[in-house]
C-alpha cells in the first residue's frame, strides 16, 4: 500500500501541469466507447445536409425573384426542403443522445475509479484530506466532466470537419469568398487559445475556491453547536456572506474573461460575414456574380463560422473539466503501492504476529515509532498503554495495514504482511475504533456491517454479548430503528456498544480495540470488560487503553514511550519493574 | 409556484440588476434578428439593381447592418456580464439568508438531519436556484416581449404571415416547453434527490472508511455508490432525451416558419403585394426570430429541478426552533443561581422520559457533579441549562425567574462548555481558541493552554499556535483535541463552566492533572462548575454530587 500518509504534502504542492491533466482527460475518452465517434459522425452528416438545404433555399428564392417562378414551380424544391428539415431534426436528437451516452460512460467509470482508489488509500490517507473537498470532487467534480465529453469534444471534432466541407462548396461557387473564409477562420481559434491560456489558471483557482467553500460549509454546519456555545454563530453569517462574495468575485473574474473571449470570437465572425456580404453585394450590383451563387454562399457563411463560435461557448466546459480533473488526477496518481496477493493467511490462532524493527515518521516529520519490535502471541490479550502521542494509534494503523512502515516489517508466521492481499488480511480483523462510525440504516444493519447475511438471532446474540441489547430493545423500533449520521440520538456509549456488537458478530481471530471503553460509564464498562474478556477467548486481542483498570487482566502490557517499548510484562510485574507504569498507576489512584 | 414567488421576494434588493439584464438581452435579440433580415433584403435588392442596371442607396442599409452587428456583439457581452453578476449576488444573499434561518435550529432540530444532507442543501440546492433568474425569468420575459414585437411587425406585411409566426412561436415557446416540463418534472426532482443521496452516502463512507474496510463492507458500499451513480445517470438520461427532442423540435419549428413564410409569400410576390427583396428578408427573419424561444424548453425543464431544490431549502428553513425566545428578555443576573423544580424531559411526546422529577439547587460558585449511566439524560440537562431545549415538565429557574424569560443567546454568553463530542474547526489552533474570546492576548492563550496541559504539545509543533487543525480536528489525537477544547472553554469569560466527560481520551496522569488545574481555575475565577462524568474518581472536591439513575 506504499505510503499513503505522505499525500498530506499534496496541499502545498504546486498545480499539476495542464498538459498532464489534458492528457488524462483525453485518456478517459476511451471509457466512452464508440458513442463519441457516433456523435461526431451524426453532427457531420447534419452539416452536409445543411449545405443541401442552403442550396435548395437559394434556388427557390432565385427562381421566384429572378425567374418569376410561381409557387407551383418551386413546390418540388419546397418539399425537398421540408424533408431535409425533418431529417435534420432527427439527427439533432440522435447526436444529443450519443454525446450524452459518451459522457455518462466516462462519469460512471471515473467516479468508480476514484472511489476505489480512495478505498485503496485507506483511512490513514483520508485523515490528511478534507472530506468536504473530497466529497466535492467525487460528486460535483465528476458531474463537471459531462459538459467536456458531451459538448466540448464533439464540438472540437466538428470544428475541423464542418467548415472544411462548407469551404469546398463555397470554393466551387465563389472563390473570393472562399479566400476570405480561409484567411479569417484561423484567426478565431488562434485568439481563442490566446485568451484561453490566461483563463485556465484562473479557472483552476475558481474550482479550488468552490471546493474550499464546500469544505468550509461542512465544517461550519457540523460545528454549528460549538459556534452557538461561543455565541459565534451569528458572526459566522458574515463569514458565509464573505465567502459567497469571494466566490462571486472569483467566478465573475473567470466569466469576464470567458465572455470576453466569446465576444472576440463573435466579433470576428460577424466582421468576416460582413466582409463576405459586402463583397457579394457589390459584385451582384456590378453584375459580376449570379444571385443564386451569391445567396448560396451568403447562407453558408454564418454556418461556416458557427462551429468556430460554438467552440468559444464550449471552451469553458473544457476549463471547468480541467479544474475539476486536477484533484482527480492527483488522487488517481497517488501511490497506492503494491498490494500483496497471497490470499491464504497463516492461522492467527496458532501463529505469532511478529513486529520487526518498525519505524514510522509522518510527513510532517513527527516520528511515531522508532525501531519497534514485538511478538504478539496467538490467543494472548495484549494491552498497549502510554501517554498521548506515544505512537499507540500509529501502531494499530500499521497492524491493520492502513499505514506502511518506512523500515522494518510485520510477519504473520513467516509471511510478511505486505505479501498478503489487504482483503484477506482484513478478514482476520475486527476493530473497535475510538469514534466508531454508524452508517445510515437500521441498528441491525449496523451490527451486520461485517456479515450482511447474519440472521436477526445472530445479531441479537452479538448485541447481547456487547451489552447493547438492553438499550436497543428500548429504542422506538428496536433493532429496526433508523440511525442518523454519527449516531445522533444515541449516546457515545451506545454507539460504542453497537460497534462492539459488530466485532462480536464478525468473529475474527484478531481483535483490535482502540480505547474501546473510553466512553462507557463505570457500570457498563465493567460489563463490556467482561464481554471483551469473553471475546478474547481463543482470539488474539490487541487493545489500546487509557484506564489501567481495563488492562490489569491482560496477559501482557506494553508500555510505550515516545515510539519505543519502555517495558513489557503483566500488571503485577510492571508495578514492580516499570517506573513509568507506576506513575500511571499512581495517577489513577482509587480508580485503578 | 408559491416557492417561486417567495424566491422572487427574497431577490427584491436585486430587481434593478435583474431588469437591466433582461433589457440588454432583449436589445441583443432584436439586433440579431434585424441583422439577418436586413442582410437578406440588401443582397437581393443589390442583385436586382445590378440586373436592372439601376442605382440604389446602399448607404442606409449598410449602416443599419453595421449598427446591428455592433449592438449584437456588444449587447451579448454586456448581457452575460450583468445577468451573471445579478445571479451570483442573489445566490450570496440566499445563502446567508438560509444560514441565518438554520442557525436557530441548532442543535435540537438539526440533529435530525445528516450534515451531508444539510451541506447539499446549502450549497448545491442554492446553486440550482440560479436557474430561476438566468434560465427561467430572463428567457421567458425576453421571449414574451420579442414575440409581441415580431408579430406586430409582420402584421404590416400580411395578417397570415403574422398568424403563422405567432402560432409556430407559441408551439416552440409554450407547447414544447410545457410538454418538457410535464415529462421532465419527475426525473428532475428525482435527480436532485439522488444527487443528495449520493453526497450523503459519500460523506458517510469517507468518514467511516476504516470500518468499512476492516468489516469487509467496503465493496458493498462501493456498489451502493455505483448504483446511486447509475440511478443518477439514468435520471439525467431521461432529461437529456427530452432535451434532445425539444432541441430537435425547436429547430424544426424555426425551419417550418421559414418554409411557411416562403409558401405564403411567394404568391404575394407574384401579386406584387410585397417586393421581391422582402421575400429573402422574410425568410431569414422567420428563421432568426426563433432565437427568442430557443432557451425556453431548457428553462421549463429545469423548473422541476429548481422547484424541488427550492422546496427542500424552504422546508428546512421553515422548521420551528426547539426553543422560543422571549419578546422582552430579562437581563441575565450577576449570579447564575439555577434551581430545578420537578424538571422532566422527553424527546418525543410519547417517548421515554430521559429526565424525570429532578429537583436541585445550583447556586453561583457551586461545584456540582452529575454521575450516572450513559444515556441517562446528563447531556440533556446541559441542553436545558444552555436553553437549547425546554423542559417538558417542571420548572427551571434562574435567579428565581423561569429560564424561558431570558434570551438564550445572552444566557450562553455567560456559560462555557466542553461538550462530550468536541468540534475543532478546520483552521489554526489559535483561531480555534480565539472563538472563545476574540481579543485574547497571546499571554492569555498560553495561560489557558498551560492549564489544559496542551501548551507544550502546541509549542512542539513546527508552527506552534499557527498549526492548522485537520478537518473536525482529526489530525490531533482524541486527547489532544479534548484538551484544546478545554483550553477554549477556560478562555471564555464565563460564570458557569460545564464539563461533559472532560477527561475522556486522556491518559490517567494527564487526566488527574488537568482536572486539578480546572478546579483551581474555577475557584480562582469564582465560576460555578457542572461536571458530568461517569467516574466516581475525583469527586471529593465537589460541593454536591448528584447520582442520576
Q: Are B247 and A93 an interchain contact pair (Cβ–Cβ within 8 Å)?
A: yes
State whether A398 and A444 are in the same domain.
yes
**Cell 438499550 belongs to residue:** A471
Q: Which of residues 477-536 of A touch B (CB under 8 A)?
A: 484-486, 488-494, 499, 502, 506, 515, 518-525
State whether B304 and B343 are in the same domain.
no
Please give the pLDDT value at position A458: 92
Q: Which residue of B has its CA nearest to A438?
A: B208
CB B322 within 8 A of CB B108: yes
Say which of B80, B103, B508 has its CB closest to residue A588. B508
Asked if residue B332 is part of any domain, the answer here is: no
B311 interfacial to chain A (CB closer than 8 Å): no
Here the CATH number for the domain that contains residue B14 is 1.20.1560.10
Q: Which residue of A has its CA nearest to B467?
A: A364
Please give the pLDDT value at position A3: 35
Q: Are A219 and B426 an interchain contact pair (Cβ–Cβ within 8 Å)?
A: yes
State whether A371 and A254 are in the same domain.
no
Kindly give the confidence (pLDDT) of every residue in chain B, 549 residues in length, as a single tens digit, with 9 standing for 90 and above: 788 888 888 888 888 999 999 999 999 999 999 988 998 999 999 999 988 888 888 888 888 888 998 999 999 999 989 998 888 888 788 878 888 888 888 777 777 676 556 666 666 787 777 778 888 889 999 999 999 999 999 999 999 999 999 999 999 999 988 888 788 878 888 988 899 889 888 888 888 888 888 888 888 889 999 999 999 999 999 988 988 888 889 999 999 999 999 999 999 998 998 999 999 999 999 999 999 998 887 777 677 778 888 888 888 888 888 888 888 999 999 999 999 999 988 877 766 778 888 899 999 999 999 887 655 577 788 889 999 888 989 999 999 999 999 998 899 999 999 988 788 888 889 999 998 998 999 999 999 999 999 998 888 887 889 888 865 455 677 788 889 999 999 999 999 999 988 887 777 778 888 999 999 999 999 999 999 887 766 788 899 988 876
Here the CATH number for the domain that contains residue B540 is 3.40.50.300
Q: Are B375 and A402 an interchain contact pair (Cβ–Cβ within 8 Å)?
A: no
State whether B124 and B178 are in the same domain.
yes
Q: Are A221 and B119 an interchain contact pair (Cβ–Cβ within 8 Å)?
A: yes
Angle between helices B276-289 and B218-270 (to 10 degrees): 160
A246 interfacial to chain B (CB closer than 8 Å): no
Cα gap B225→A109, rounded to integer Å: 12
Please state, as a whole number, how many other Cβ atoms lie within 10 Å of the Cβ of residue A162.
23
CB B168 within 8 A of CB B52: no
Asked if residue B395 is part of any domain, the answer here is: yes
Closest to A397 measured CA to CA, from B219, B204, B477, B462: B477
State whether A310 and A359 are in the same domain.
no
Cα gap B128→A560, rounded to integer Å: 53
State whether B68 and B37 are in the same domain.
yes
Within 8 A by CB and 6+ apart from B349, the residues are none
String of b and e for B11-23 (b: at least 16 CB within 10 Å)? beebeebbebbbb
Closest to B206 measured CA to CA, from A232, A329, A131, A239: A131
If one counts the domains in chain A, the total is 2
Asked if residue B38 is part of any domain, the answer here is: yes
Asked if residue A340 is part of any domain, the answer here is: no
State whether B463 and B365 are in the same domain.
yes
Name the domain boundary from B256, B286, B317.
Answer: B317
B55, B352, B395 from B356: Cα distances, Å: 103, 10, 12
Q: Are A284 and B46 an interchain contact pair (Cβ–Cβ within 8 Å)?
A: yes
Here the CATH number for the domain that contains residue A428 is 3.40.50.300
State whether B255 and B396 are in the same domain.
no
State whether B298 and B375 are in the same domain.
no
Residue A566 has phi, psi (to 5 degrees) of -90, -35
Partners of A484 on chain B (C-beta within 8 Å) are: 111-114
Q: Are A126 and B209 an interchain contact pair (Cβ–Cβ within 8 Å)?
A: yes
State whether B374 and B519 are in the same domain.
yes
Please give the pLDDT value at position A590: 43
Low-confidence residues of chain A: pLDDT under 70 = 1-17, 195-204, 206-207, 210, 214, 312-313, 336-338, 484-489, 492, 516-524, 527, 546-547, 587-592
C-alpha cell at B435: 472563538
Asked if residue B68 is part of any domain, the answer here is: yes
Please give the pLDDT value at position A10: 34
Say which of B213, B276, B435 has its CB closest to residue A119. B213
Q: Are B119 and A214 an interchain contact pair (Cβ–Cβ within 8 Å)?
A: yes
Asked if residue A65 is part of any domain, the answer here is: yes
State whether A401 and A508 are in the same domain.
yes
Asked if residue A53 is part of any domain, the answer here is: yes
Q: How many residues does chain A have?
A: 592
State whether B274 and B371 are in the same domain.
no
A377, A551, A557, A592 from A571: Cα distances, Å: 17, 8, 7, 11
Whether the link from the prior residue into B107 is cis, omega within 30° of 0, is yes
To the nearest whole Å, the CA of B199 is away from the closest chain A CA by 6
Please state, as a whole number, how many other Cβ atoms lie within 10 Å of the Cβ of residue B68.
22
Distance of CA A591 to the CA centre of its chain: 47
3-state SS, residue A40? helix
Alpha carbons within 13 A on the beta-carbon side of A284: 27
Say which of B107, B209, B249 has its CB closest to residue A225. B107
Cα gap B448→B497, rounded to integer Å: 14
C-alpha cell at B469: 487543525
C-alpha cell at A83: 424533408
Q: Which residue of A has its CA nearest to B218?
A: A119
Burial class (CB in 10 A: 0-12, 13-18, 19+), B226: middle
Q: Which residue of A has its CA nearest to B88?
A: A248
- Contacts by B18-24, CB closer than 8 A, 24 or more apart: B18/B86, B18/B133, B18/B137, B20/B82, B20/B86, B21/B79, B21/B82, B21/B83, B21/B86, B21/B133, B21/B138, B22/B137, B22/B138, B22/B141, B22/B142, B24/B75, B24/B78, B24/B79, B24/B82, B24/B83
State whether B251 and B288 are in the same domain.
yes
B101, B103, B149, B166, B203 from B316: Cα distances, Å: 8, 11, 43, 43, 20
Query: What range does the domain containing B163 cover?
Result: 2-317
State whether A381 and A322 are in the same domain.
no
| Alpha helical stretches, state H, B105-175 | 115-119, 126-128, 130-131, 138-155, 159-170
Cα gap A207→A415, rounded to integer Å: 46
CB A540 within 8 A of CB A380: yes
Within 8 A by CB and 6+ apart from A486, the residues are A437, A438, A495, B421
Asked if residue A74 is part of any domain, the answer here is: yes
Residue B25 has phi, psi (to 5 degrees) of -65, -40
State whether A235 and A378 are in the same domain.
no
State whether A269 and A365 are in the same domain.
no
State whether A372 and A323 are in the same domain.
no
Q: Are B199 and A548 an interchain contact pair (Cβ–Cβ within 8 Å)?
A: no
Partners of B54 on chain A (C-beta within 8 Å) are: none
String of b and e for B344-378 (b: at least 16 CB within 10 Å)? ebbbeeeeeebbbebeeebebbbbbbbbbbbbbbb
Name the strand (E) or helix (H) holding B271: none
If one counts the domains in chain B, the total is 2
Query: What range does the domain containing A119 cover?
Result: 4-333
The DSSP result for B371-407, as a single string, is: E--TTSSHHHHHHHHTTSS--SEEEEEETTEEGGGS-
State whether B362 and B309 are in the same domain.
no
CB B499 within 8 A of CB B487: no
Partners of A4 on chain B (C-beta within 8 Å) are: none
B262 interfacial to chain A (CB closer than 8 Å): yes
State whether A329 and A408 are in the same domain.
no
The DSSP result for A403-419, as a single string, is: S--SEEEEEETTEEGGG
CB A52 within 8 A of CB A85: no
State whether A239 and A318 are in the same domain.
yes
Asked if residue A338 is part of any domain, the answer here is: no
Asked if residue B323 is part of any domain, the answer here is: no
Write the ipTM: 0.80
State whether B138 and B217 are in the same domain.
yes
A175 interfacial to chain B (CB closer than 8 Å): no
Here the CATH number for the domain that contains residue A318 is 1.20.1560.10
Q: How many residues does chain B have?
A: 549
Asked if residue A344 is part of any domain, the answer here is: no
To the nearest whole Å, the CA of B271 is away from the closest chain A CA by 10
Name the percent of chain A in helix, strand, coil, to the closest 5: 70, 10, 20
Asked if residue A341 is part of any domain, the answer here is: no
State whether A420 and A549 are in the same domain.
yes
Please give the pLDDT value at position B142: 95
The DSSP result for B350-369, as a single string, is: TS-EEEEEEEEEE-TT-EEE
Q: SS3 sequence, A452-517?
A: CCCCHHHHHHHHHHCCCHHHHCCCCCHHHCEECHHHCCCCHHHHHHHHHHHHHHHCCCEEEEECCC
A131 interfacial to chain B (CB closer than 8 Å): yes
B466 interfacial to chain A (CB closer than 8 Å): no
State whether A123 and A247 are in the same domain.
yes
Cα gap A10→A3, rounded to integer Å: 13
B97 interfacial to chain A (CB closer than 8 Å): no
Which residue, among B118, B209, B389, would best test binding to A if mutated, counting the most A CBs under 10 Å from its CB?
B209
Asked if residue A539 is part of any domain, the answer here is: yes
Amino acid at each position: 500500500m506504499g505510503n499513503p500518509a505522505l499525500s498530506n504534502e499534496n496541499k502545498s504542492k504546486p498545480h499539476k501541469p495542464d498538459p498532464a491533466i489534458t492528457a488524462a482527460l483525453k485518456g478517459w475518452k476511451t471509457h466512452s466507447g464508440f458513442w463519441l465517434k457516433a456523435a461526431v459522425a451524426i453532427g457531420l452528416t447534419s452539416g452536409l445536409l445543411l449545405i443541401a438545404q442552403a442550396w435548395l433555399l437559394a434556388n427557390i428564392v432565385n427562381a421566384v425573384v429572378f425567374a418569376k417562378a410561381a409557387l407551383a414551380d418551386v413546390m418540388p424544391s419546397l418539399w425537398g426542403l421540408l424533408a431535409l428539415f425533418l431529417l435534420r431534426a432527427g439527427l439533432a436528437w440522435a447526436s444529443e443522445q450519443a454525446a450524452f451516452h459518451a459522457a455518462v460512460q466516462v462519469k460512471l467509470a471515473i467516479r468508480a475509479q476514484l472511489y476505489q482508489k480512495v478505498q485503496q488509500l485507506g483511512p490513514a490517507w483520508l485523515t490528511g484530506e478534507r472530506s468536504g473537498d473530497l466529497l466535492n470532487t467525487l460528486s460535483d467534480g465528476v458531474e463537471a466532466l459531462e459538459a467536456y465529453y458531451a459538448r466540448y469534444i464533439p464540438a472540437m471534432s466538428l470544428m475541423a470537419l464542418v467548415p472544411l466541407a462548407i469551404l469546398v462548396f463555397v470554393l466551387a461557387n465563389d472563390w473570393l469568398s472562399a479566400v476570405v473564409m480561409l484567411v479569417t477562420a484561423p484567426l478565431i481559434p488562434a485568439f481563442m487559445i490566446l485568451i484561453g491560456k490566461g483563463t485556465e489558471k484562473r479557472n483552476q483557482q475558481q474550482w479550488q475556491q468552490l471546493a474550499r467553500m464546500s469544505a468550509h460549509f461542512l465544517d461550519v454546519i457540523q460545528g454549528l453547536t460549538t459556534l452557538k456555545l461561543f455565541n459565534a454563530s451569528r458572526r459566522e453569517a458574515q463569514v458565509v456572506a464573505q465567502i459567497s462574495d469571494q466566490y462571486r468575485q472569483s467566478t465573475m473574474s473567470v466569466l469576464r474573461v470567458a465572455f470576453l473571449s466569446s465576444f472576440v470570437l463573435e466579433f470576428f465572425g460577424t466582421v468576416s460575414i460582413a466582409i463576405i456580404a459586402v463583397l457579394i453585394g457589390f459584385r451582384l450590383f456590378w453584375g459580376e456574380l449570379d444571385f443564386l451563387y451569391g445567396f448560396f454562399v451568403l447562407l453558408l457563411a454564418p454556418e461556416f463560422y458557427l462551429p468556430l463560435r460554438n467552440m468559444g461557448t464550449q471552451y469553458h466546459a473544457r476549463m471547468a473539466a480541467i479544474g475539476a480533473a486536477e484533484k482527480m488526477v492527483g488522487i488517481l496518481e497517488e501511490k497506492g503501492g503494491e498490494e500483496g496477493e497471497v490470499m491464504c493467511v497463516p492461522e492467527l490462532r496458532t501463529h505469532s504476529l511478529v513486529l520487526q524493527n518498525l519505524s514510522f515518521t509522518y510527513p510532517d516529520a513527527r516520528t511515531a515509532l522508532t525501531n519497534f519490535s514485538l511478538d504478539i502471541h496467538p490467543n494472548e490479550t495484549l494491552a498497549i498503554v502510554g501517554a498521548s502521542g506515544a505512537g499507540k494509534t500509529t501502531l494499530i494503523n500499521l497492524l491493520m495495514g492502513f499505514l506502511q512502515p518506512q523500515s522494518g516489517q510485520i510477519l504473520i508466521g513467516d509471511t510478511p504482511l505486505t505479501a498478503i492481499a489487504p482483503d484477506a488480511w482484513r478478514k482476520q480483523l475486527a476493530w473497535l475504533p475510538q469514534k466508531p462510525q454508524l452508517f445510515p440504516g437500521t441498528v441491525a444493519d449496523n451490527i451486520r456491517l461485517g456479515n450482511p447475511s447474519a440472521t436477526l438471532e445472530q445479531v441479537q446474540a452479538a448485541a447481547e454479548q456487547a451489552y447493547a441489547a438492553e438499550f436497543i430493545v428500548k429504542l422506538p423500533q428496536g433493532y429496526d430503528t433508523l440511525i442518523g449520521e454519527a449516531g445522533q440520538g444515541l449516546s457515545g456509549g451506545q454507539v460504542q456498544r453497537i460497534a462492539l456488537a459488530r466485532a462480536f458478530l464478525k468473529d475474527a481471530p484478531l481483535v483490535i480495540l482502540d480505547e474501546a471503553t473510553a466512553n462507557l460509564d463505570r457500570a457498563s464498562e465493567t460489563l463490556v470488560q467482561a464481554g471483551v474478556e469473553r471475546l478474547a477467548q481463543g482470539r488474539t486481542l490487541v487493545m489500546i487503553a487509557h484506564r489501567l483498570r481495563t488492562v490489569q487482566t491482560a496477559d501482557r502490557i506494553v508500555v510505550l514511550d515516545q515510539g519505543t517499548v519502555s517495558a513489557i510484562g503483566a500488571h503485577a510485574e510492571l508495578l514492580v519493574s516499570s517506573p513509568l507504569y507506576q506513575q500511571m498507576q499512581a495517577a489513577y489512584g482509587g480508580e485503578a | 409556484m408559491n416557492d417561486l414567488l417567495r424566491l422572487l421576494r427574497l431577490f427584491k434588493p436585486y430587481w434593478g440588476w435583474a431588469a437591466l439584464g433582461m433589457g440588454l438581452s432583449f436589445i441583443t435579440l432584436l439586433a440579431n434578428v434585424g441583422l439577418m433580415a436586413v442582410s437578406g433584403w440588401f443582397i437581393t435588392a443589390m442583385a436586382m439593381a445590378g440586373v436592372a442596371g439601376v442605382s440604389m442607396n446602399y448607404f442606409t442599409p449598410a449602416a443599419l447592418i453595421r449598427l446591428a452587428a455592433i449592438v449584437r456583439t456588444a449587447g451579448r457581452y454586456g448581457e452575460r456580464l450583468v445577468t451573471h453578476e445579478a445571479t451570483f449576488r442573489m445566490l450570496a444573499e440566499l445563502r446567508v439568508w438560509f444560514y441565518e434561518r438554520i442557525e436557530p435550529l441548532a442543535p435540537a432540530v438539526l440533529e435530525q438531519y445528516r450534515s451531508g444532507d444539510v451541506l447539499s442543501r446549502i450549497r448545491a440546492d442554492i446553486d440550482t436556484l440560479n436557474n430561476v433568474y438566468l434560465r427561467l425569468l430572463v428567457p421567458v420575459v425576453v421571449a414574451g416581449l420579442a414575440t409581441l414585437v415580431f408579430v406586430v411587425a409582420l402584421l404590416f406585411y400580411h395578417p397570415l404571415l403574422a398568424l403563422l409566426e405567432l402560432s409556430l412561436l407559441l408551439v416552440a415557446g409554450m407547447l414544447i416547453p410545457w410538454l418538457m416540463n410535464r415529462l421532465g418534472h419527475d426525473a428532475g426532482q428525482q435527480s436532485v434527490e439522488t444527487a443528495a443521496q449520493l453526497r450523503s452516502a459519500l460523506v458517510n463512507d469517507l468518514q467511516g472508511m476504516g470500518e468499512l474496510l476492516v468489516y469487509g463492507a467496503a465493496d458493498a458500499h462501493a456498489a451502493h455508490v455505483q448504483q446511486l451513480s447509475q440511478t443518477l445517470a439514468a435520471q439525467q438520461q431521461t432529461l437529456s432525451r427530452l432535451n434532445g427532442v425539444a432541441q430537435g423540435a425547436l429547430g424544426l419549428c424555426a425551419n417550418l416558419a421559414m418554409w411557411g413564410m416562403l409558401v405564403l409569400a411567394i404568391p404575394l410576390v407574384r401579386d406584387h403585394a410585397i417586393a421581391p427583396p422582402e421575400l429573402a428578408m422574410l425568410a431569414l427573419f422567420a428563421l432568426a426570430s426563433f432565437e427568442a424561444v430557443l432557451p425556453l424548453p431548457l428553462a421549463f425543464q429545469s423548473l422541476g429541478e429548481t422547484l424541488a431544490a427550492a422546496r427542500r431549502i424552504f422546508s428546512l428553513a421553515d422548521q420551528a426552533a426547539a426553543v422560543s425566545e422571549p419578546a422582552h428578555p430579562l437581563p441575565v443576573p450577576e449570579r447564575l443561581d439555577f434551581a430545578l423544580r420537578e424538571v422532566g424531559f422527553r424527546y418525543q411526546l410519547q417517548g421515554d422520559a430521559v429526565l424525570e422529577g429532578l429537583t436541585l439547587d445550583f447556586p453561583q460558585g457551586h461545584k456540582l457533579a452529575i454521575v450516572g449511566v450513559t444515556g441517562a439524560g446528563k447531556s440533556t440537562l446541559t441542553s436545558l441549562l444552555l436553553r437549547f431545549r425546554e423542559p417538558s415538565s417542571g420548572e427551571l429557574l434562574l435567579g428565581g425567574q423561569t429560564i424561558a424569560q431570558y434570551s438564550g443567546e445572552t444566557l450562553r454568553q455567560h456559560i462555557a462548555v466542553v461538550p462530550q463530542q468536541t468540534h475543532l474547526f478546520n483552521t489554526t489552533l489559535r483561531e480555534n481558541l480565539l472563538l472563545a474570546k476574540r481579543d485574547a492576548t497571546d499571554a492569555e492563550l498560553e495561560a489557558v493552554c498551560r492549564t489544559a496541559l496542551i501548551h507544550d504539545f502546541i509549542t512542539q509543533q513546527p508552527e506552534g499556535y499557527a498549526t492548522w487543525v485537520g478537518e473536525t480536528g482529526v489530525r490531533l489525537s482524541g486527547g489532544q483535541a479534548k484538551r484544546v477544547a478545554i483550553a477554549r472553554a477556560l478562555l471564555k469569560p464565563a460564570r458557569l463552566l460545564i464539563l461533559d466527560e472532560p477527561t475522556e481520551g486522556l491518559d490517567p496522569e494527564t487526566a488527574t492533572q488537568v482536572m486539578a488545574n480546572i478546579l483551581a481555575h474555577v475557584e480562582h475565577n469564582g465560576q460555578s462548575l457542572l461536571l458530568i462524568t461517569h467516574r466516581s474518581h475525583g469527586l471529593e472536591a465537589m460541593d454536591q454530587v448528584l447520582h442520576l439513575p
